[in-house]
Amino acid sequence: MRLNKFLAQTGVASRRKADELIQMATTEVNGKICLDPAYDVKDTDVIKYDGQKVKPVQEKIVIMLHKPKKVITTVKDTHGRKTVLDIVPSKYRLTPVGRLDQDTTGLLLLTNDGDLHQYLTHPKNRIPKDYEAVIEGRMTASQIQKLIRGIYIGDKEYGKAEIVSQDTKKGRSVVILRLHQGKKREIRRIMHRLKLKLLSLKRIRFSGLELGDLPEHHYRTLNEKEEIGRAHV
């Protein structure tokens, strides 16, 4: 087994992220730093990550969290801010699947299954994610067409989304947008380019998984039927 896959199966990170971590001199093989993600791990090898001995997990779990505002989607924060792992204490080494910025609420998955993490986050798989955006006013037909075709959002990137629905009441609209990739702060950058005031943003669906009525700050473990993507890895 390659070293990057070994680390992924310990729950440290996805396989792609494991490549970066290995090249940052975080991983030891038999007491020596190894910088080669393709190193072939043998049964007798002792692997340490960040000074701690690690081995592939036997029980793989997926947790759904309703992330509140002002919580960082990361494992550790160097500035001492509250992270999602402060809300979801676990004996397992969990990693967030993708990111929600600190002002976005809603559905966030965490798992110790590196292969599942890789599948759900790889752009080529185009996993759909639905967001509920509350805006001032209403999105016009022209703005919707720009969004469907793709709109420049800066940094040589284009934002693109489907509009699932739009419901307007008392000068505000609830817009359900569907993304298939998800660039950094993509919806916020889209709204800025369209000159629309975004009042709140919540992820309500991740592929076939619904946030439903799970309250903020709460989480639950998914059952086998809900573990989306497991059959693909």
Query: The dihedral of CA 55, 56, 61, 64: what is its sign?
Result: positive
Active centre residues (catalytic) = 101
Q: What is the CATH number of the domain that holds 172?
A: 3.30.70.1560
What average pLDDT is seen over the chain? Answer: 91
> How do residues 1-59 score in pLDDT, each as one tens digit?
999 989 988 888 888 889 999 999 999 999 999 999 999 999 899 999 999 999 887 68
Task: Say whether both 118 and 219 belong to one domain.
Answer: yes
Task: Say whether both 72 and 37 belong to one domain.
Answer: no
Task: Say whether both 117 and 226 belong to one domain.
Answer: yes
Query: The dihedral of CA 33, 39, 44, 50: what is its sign?
Result: positive
Residue 57 has what pLDDT?
A: 76
Task: Say whether both 202 and 164 belong to one domain.
Answer: yes
User: Can you tell me the distance from the alpha carbon of 3 to that of 1, in angstroms, rounded to the nearest whole number?
Assistant: 6
Q: What are phi and psi of 225, to 5 degrees?
A: -70, -25
CB 121 within 8 A of CB 13: no
Residue 229 has what pLDDT?
A: 52
Q: What are phi and psi of 45, to 5 degrees?
A: -70, 145
Q: What is the CATH number of the domain that holds 103?
A: 3.30.70.580
Q: What is the CATH number of the domain that holds 47?
A: 3.10.290.10
Task: Say whether both 135 and 152 belong to one domain.
Answer: yes
Query: The dihedral of CA 122, 123, 129, 134: what is its sign?
Result: positive
Task: Say whether both 157 and 109 belong to one domain.
Answer: no
Residue 232 has what pLDDT?
A: 45
Long-range contacts of 83-92 (CB under 8 A, 24+ apart): 84/108, 84/110, 85/110, 87/217, 87/219, 88/63, 88/219, 90/63, 92/11, 92/57, 92/59, 92/61
Mean pLDDT of the 172-201 span:
95
SS3 124: helix
User: Can you tell me the distance from the alpha carbon of 95 to that of 19, in angstroms, rounded to the nearest whole number?
Assistant: 15
- pLDDT at residue 107 above 60? yes
**Axis-axis angle for helices 114-121, 15-23 (nearest 10):** 110
Question: How many domains are contained in the chain?
Answer: 3
Mean pLDDT of the 79-90 span:
89
**Axis-axis angle for helices 15-23, 3-10 (nearest 10):** 110
Other CB atoms within a 10 A radius of the CB of residue 164 amount to 14
Q: Please name the residues in contact with 155: beta carbons below 8 A apart, sequence gap of 6 or more.
A: none
Q: Which domain holds residue 48?
A: 3-53
- pLDDT at residue 233 above 70? no
